[in-house]
Amino acid sequence: MEKNASPTKPQENTGFPASYLPAEVEPALCSRWEESKLHHYDPARPRQETFVVDTPPPTVSGSLHIGHVFSYTQTDIFVRFQRMLGKNIFYPMGWDDNGLPTERRVQNLFGVRCEPTVPYKEGYKSSGPKKDLKDYEHISRRNFLELCETQTAEDEKRYEALWRRLGLSIDWRQTYSTVGAHCRKTSQFSFLDLFKKGHVYSAETPTLWDTTFRTAVAQAECEDREANGFFHDIKFQVEGGGDFTIATTRPELLAACIAVVAHPDDARYKALFGKKALTPLFKAPVPIMPSFHADPEKGTGIMMVCTFGDIADVQFWRDHKLPLRQVIGRDGRLIPVQFGAGLFESADHAAANAAYGQLAGLYAKQARTKTVELLRAEGSLVGEPRPTKQAVKYYEKGDLPLEFVPTRQWYIRILENKPALLEQGRKVKWHPDYMLKRYEQWVEGLNQDWCISRQRYFGVPFPVWYPLDHDGAPDYSSPIVAAAERLPVDPQTDVPPGYTEAQRGKPGGFMGDHDVMDTWATSSLTPMVSSGWAADKERHAKLYPADLRPQAHEIIRTWAFYTITKSWMHENSVPWYNAGISGWVVSPDKGKMSKSKGNTITPEGLLQTYSADALRYWSGKAKLGQDTVYDESVFKVGMRLATKLFNASKFALMQMKGPAAAGAKPGPADITEPLDRAWVEFLKGLVEQSREDFQSYDYAAVLLYVETAFWNFCDNYLELVKNRAYSGKPEAARSACAALDWTLSVFLRLFAPFMPFITEEVWGWSYAASTGRPSVHKAAWPSAAEMPSAAGDREVFETARKVLEAVRTKKAAEKRSVKWPVARLAVECGPKQAAALKLALEDVLLAGCVDKAGLTLKEAASDEAALSVTVELGAA
RNA sequence: GCGCAGUUAGCUCAGCGGUAGAGCAAUCGCCUUACACGCGAUGGGUCAUAGGUUCGAAUCCUAUACUGCGCACCA
């Protein structure tokens, strides 16, 4: 026997759909919203009536995952609330399609590499992915960029379809792509402005360098990874006699040693300061110097400074104007150098060159092994290498450790502006507020200016050329910048003012800057991209600064920080008044959901299975800033809530079509029954609280108590009044119907930001016509003022509920059905509760199927007395 | 090393000075003027630990432990 089999019941003709089918209803509503221009921004309305969102442009590199659904929905929930407050919503969508992720995806998808020396092929078509790296086709820059554009356009279509299906109330006329002409123009315009203001400079200096991608990277894109390294104790000779031992994890940098340092107060080494040491293998004389950054407790207390092991080396090299002995090349191999010539000094050229000859051309890791071998043979290795855990810096997308390589790069001056940038960060209201700490900590810890140039292809070029001297060497000190009105320009194809194309690359001619901007150099401008800062002053004034920047916490150091920086430099303003920081979706084992772990979930299937409202419900349950465990059972709860909304609404509306429907439509003045007033009183409080909590970005709290209240409505209030609403007593029925009418409209509106589809569907059954608001999403957020009835006593509802509960408990204990008759009901309580109960007695007795003759109500002397209910069931 | 957040029922979380809560799961029931994709009910917690403040502490303070994250160091 099927446990859940329901006996077939004839379907009454209610005038409402029999059951809720979200898979059909939701897409239909999406189309309706689009047709009715529900989400359109109105440029005619003033700024103070407008709510501006600086939507995160998702990286276009494959597919969106459940984490995107989570955070974008949270933003949409808040936006929908603002729309119901009557705000003119500016809610754009951008696509972050420039930069490395796209390049990588296109390389793999089509089996190609960009090779700028290869000529352009008209109508080029890729032959598809390649198994072996050797088989990758080398194609021109232009062909490569075309592939990038085609691919991202396709991805963006899929992204948009998903966002629509999820019900994000975006104005789809307001879109941008970070590689599109508008963004290129804005980014280049930004560069010109920074250039004019002196906030940007180019310099040839050691910079963080990724040897795999062969590009510079910024501090913000680095991460530490723990590695198993080795301490190598290496003996140095002192000129004029003596020796000492240093400890290093990077012996392959020995040839790059420029000094040896110890703490100024370190008694062990004090006597050596001012003398010179001779490096092992290469016999290079290097000064022994005091430095506070040498920690007497660490290693042997004395250490070598190389060009370059870490940022401290860079600092020391710069401060003391020491020679640059670069040995690591751009590809991560040791470059050939000559000892005895130029900067590489040696007391024994022949030995030094012989040793180095065995290292040149090796990758750093190979060179390390070889160096240890040579040191051991020379007798300079003290003991054996000792294992140690060390944190090594990597580019977040890279697989090999970063190196410091001197190259020419463009930098934005942030170090000297730290105090101002900290202050700007504090002007933004962060949600949750502790996220400001992350921002502050990051800014305080910065030790490099922001490197914005990348030696890549798919990105925004610098609008800059350099004059070439008579030998054809570029003069970097006098860059030629493009004129603002010519933007966007590509210096590889466009010609600077006063030159002709024929002079490109010729002595006395010019060359274009080869690099492209870091993708953050563009995305740091998103509020200004949307506002039209570089194109339309009037529009800009209406849309900037934005009201809300939603984003995830791991990119506070990049996206939030860079945006704050640019806004300050360009406009001396904050980019937005509020930053809403969303949490992550974590897998049930508390790990991060990531593609590499293979535990990412694609949203399309979930939408089909559970409905958009269900996924949105799950997103709405999580507070800002808080990580959420991926749990499908929550989708089920959300789906059930939508179904319940459907059924309860149908039922409530049916009541209103009952006997009370005769005559004028019941209104607030008809709410006369104390039970109804009590319920309305409760709702008033709920409605006011919801507005307050929403305004402080605590939408999750709203969903929580609205949901609880809604189930309370279904299980208790509706059960208590349904008999009366259907009864022949006109006034009592009208009171119930008026209360139900308002209640339903309130719940639909309170749920609308979270579950836009089911609420819109139900709204259309009755309220679209009765309120003159075709969409619930443009209905006014409910307020207590809508219900100008006399104050109710909430105790009436509470007491009625408690008594009804006692009756239900008894029936459950006796294993009887809910409608089983009650022969005797004895209630004992204080005078206050007794009075309250009397006011709702009829409803309670009907809902509990209680025989009126069997009722006794005993009043205790004090209100301290607890409510006690005794129930005796009758015969069938 | 510094900082931020957290530790409440089997699970996921709410509560943030006034008698320990919800949902899920579990268990027992029920065809009731919508909903069996439903409804009713039951069991389940020294609120991480130790101190302190208070008439009263899950809640405030101070330590400690653990978890997650951020930052720094990293010879």
Per residue in A215-254, pLDDT tens? 999 999 999 988 888 999 999 999 999 999 999 999 999 9
Is pLDDT at A571 greater than 60 in this prediction?
Answer: yes
CA of A552 to C1' of B34 (A): 42
Q: For residue A821, say whether its CB is under 7 Å from any atom of strand B.
A: no
Strand B-proximal residues of A, range 643-662, CB below 7 A, are: 643-644, 647-648, 650-651, 654
CA of A438 to C1' of B12 (A): 27
CA of A171 to C1' of B49 (A): 53
CA of A283 to C1' of B10 (A): 69
Q: For residue A791, say whether its CB is under 7 Å from any atom of strand B.
A: no
Q: For residue A483, say whether its CB is under 7 Å from any atom of strand B.
A: no
CA of A808 to C1' of B22 (A): 20
Is pLDDT at A356 greater than 80 in this prediction?
Answer: yes
> Could you tell me if residue A744 is left (phi over 0), alpha (psi between -120 and 50 degrees) or otherwise beta?
alpha
Strand partners, A825: A855, A871
Q: A287: buried, middle or exposed (CB in 10 Å: 19+, 13-18, 0-12)?
A: middle
- Taking residues A46-71, report their average pLDDT: 93
The Cα A591–Cα A81 span in angstroms is 32
CA of A610 to C1' of B37 (A): 11
Nearest protein residue to nucleotide B5 (CA to C1' distance) is A434
Query: What DSSP element (H or E) covers A107?
Result: helix A100-110
Q: Any idea which nucleotide's C1' is nearest the CA of A248? A: B75
Is pLDDT at A36 greater than 60 in this prediction?
Answer: yes
CA of A674 to C1' of B37 (A): 35
Per residue in A269-289, pLDDT tens? 999 999 999 999 999 999 999
**A490, A493, A505, A572 from A502: Cα distances, Å:** 16, 12, 8, 42
Q: Write down the pLDDT at residue A1.
A: 32
Check: CB of residue A394 under 8 Å from CB of residue A229.
no
CA of A566 to C1' of B59 (A): 42
What DSSP string describes A705-735? HHHHHHHHIIIIIHHHHHHHHHSS-HHHHHH
In this structure, chain A runs to a length of 876
Q: For residue A249, say whether its CB is under 7 Å from any atom of strand B.
A: yes
Is pLDDT at A27 greater than 70 in this prediction?
Answer: yes
The Cα A396–Cα A217 span in angstroms is 10
User: How many CB atoms are located within 10 Å of the residue A326 CB?
Assistant: 19
Q: Write down the pLDDT at residue A133.
A: 85
Per residue in A524-561, pLDDT tens? 999 999 999 999 999 999 999 999 999 999 999 999 99
Check: CB of residue A857 under 8 Å from CB of residue A834.
yes
Return positions of chain B under 7 A from a protein CB. 3-5, 11-15, 22-25, 28-42, 67-75
Q: At what angle do helices A699-712 and A674-695 cross, to 10 degrees?
A: 160
Q: For residue A23, say whether its CB is under 7 Å from any atom of strand B.
A: no
Q: Any idea which nucleotide's C1' is nearest the CA of A391? A: B74
CA of A444 to C1' of B71 (A): 9
Q: Write down the pLDDT at residue A5.
A: 43
Q: For residue A434, say whether its CB is under 7 Å from any atom of strand B.
A: yes
Q: Any idea which nucleotide's C1' is nearest the CA of A642? A: B37
> Could you tell me if residue A504 is left (phi over 0), alpha (psi between -120 and 50 degrees) or otherwise beta?
beta
Q: Any idea which nucleotide's C1' is nearest the CA of A299? A: B75
CA of A397 to C1' of B10 (A): 40
Q: Any idea which nucleotide's C1' is nearest the CA of A261? A: B75
Is pLDDT at A2 greater than 60 in this prediction?
Answer: no
The Cα A52–Cα A545 span in angstroms is 8
Give the DSSP letter of residue A559. Answer: I
Backbone angles phi, psi at A873, to 5 degrees: -80, 155
CA of A866 to C1' of B26 (A): 31
Q: For residue A440, say whether its CB is under 7 Å from any atom of strand B.
A: no
Nearest protein residue to nucleotide B73 (CA to C1' distance) is A391
Strand B-proximal residues of A, range 332-371, CB below 7 A, are: none
Q: For residue A473, say whether its CB is under 7 Å from any atom of strand B.
A: no
Is pLDDT at A588 greater than 80 in this prediction?
Answer: no
Per residue in A718-733, pLDDT tens? 999 998 988 778 889 9
pTM score > 0.90 for this model?
A: yes
* Mean pLDDT taken over chain A: 92
Q: Write down the pLDDT at residue A590.
A: 67
Check: CB of residue A565 under 8 Å from CB of residue A421.
yes
Q: For residue A802, say whether its CB is under 7 Å from any atom of strand B.
A: no
Strand B-proximal residues of A, range 511-530, CB below 7 A, are: none
Q: Write down the pLDDT at residue A457.
A: 83
Q: For residue A16, say whether its CB is under 7 Å from any atom of strand B.
A: no
The Cα A754–Cα A81 span in angstroms is 9
Q: Any idea which nucleotide's C1' is nearest the CA of A9? A: B31
Confidence band of A7 (pLDDT split at 50, 70, 90): very low
User: How many CB atoms are located within 10 Å of the residue A461 CB?
Assistant: 24
Q: In what order do the strands lie in the sheet with A822-829?
A: A855-859, A822-829, A868-873
The Cα A527–Cα A525 span in angstroms is 6
CA of A29 to C1' of B30 (A): 37
CA of A589 to C1' of B10 (A): 16
Q: For residue A231, say whether its CB is under 7 Å from any atom of strand B.
A: yes
Is pLDDT at A4 greater than 80 in this prediction?
Answer: no
CA of A582 to C1' of B58 (A): 26
Q: For residue A442, say whether its CB is under 7 Å from any atom of strand B.
A: yes
CA of A682 to C1' of B21 (A): 19
What DSSP string describes A446-506? --S-EE-EES-SSSPBPSEEEEB-TTS-B-TTS-EEPPGGG-S--TTTS--TT--GGGBTS
Q: Write down the pLDDT at residue A664.
A: 81
Q: For residue A628, say whether its CB is under 7 Å from any atom of strand B.
A: yes
Q: Is the peptide bond before A129 cis (omega within 30 degrees of 0)?
A: no
Based on its alpha-carbon atoms, the radius of gyration of chain A, rounded to whole angstroms, reads: 36
Per residue in A602-636, pLDDT tens? 899 999 999 999 999 999 999 999 989 898 999 99
Q: For residue A275, say whether its CB is under 7 Å from any atom of strand B.
A: no
Per residue in A182-207, pLDDT tens? 999 999 999 999 999 999 999 999 99
Confidence band of A600 (pLDDT split at 50, 70, 90): low
* Nearest in space to A50 (alpha carbons), one of A174, A181, A180: A174
Check: CB of residue A379 under 8 Å from CB of residue A311.
no
Q: For residue A311, say whether its CB is under 7 Å from any atom of strand B.
A: yes
CA of A607 to C1' of B75 (A): 55
CA of A156 to C1' of B24 (A): 37
Q: Write down the pLDDT at residue A298.
A: 85
CA of A589 to C1' of B65 (A): 22
The residue written with tokens 């605590």 in the block is A698
Per residue in A322-347, pLDDT tens? 999 999 999 999 999 999 888 999 99
Q: Any idea which nucleotide's C1' is nearest the CA of A621? A: B13
Prediction ipTM score: 0.96
- Taking residues A396-423, report their average pLDDT: 95
Confidence band of A11 (pLDDT split at 50, 70, 90): low
| Alpha-carbon A724 to chain mean position | 51
Q: Any idea which nucleotide's C1' is nearest the CA of A809? A: B41
Query: What DSSP element (H or E) covers A177?
Result: strand A175-177
Give the DSSP letter of residue A558. Answer: I
Query: What DSSP element (H or E) covers A613?
Result: helix A612-620
CA of A585 to C1' of B25 (A): 22
- Taking residues A123-147, report their average pLDDT: 90
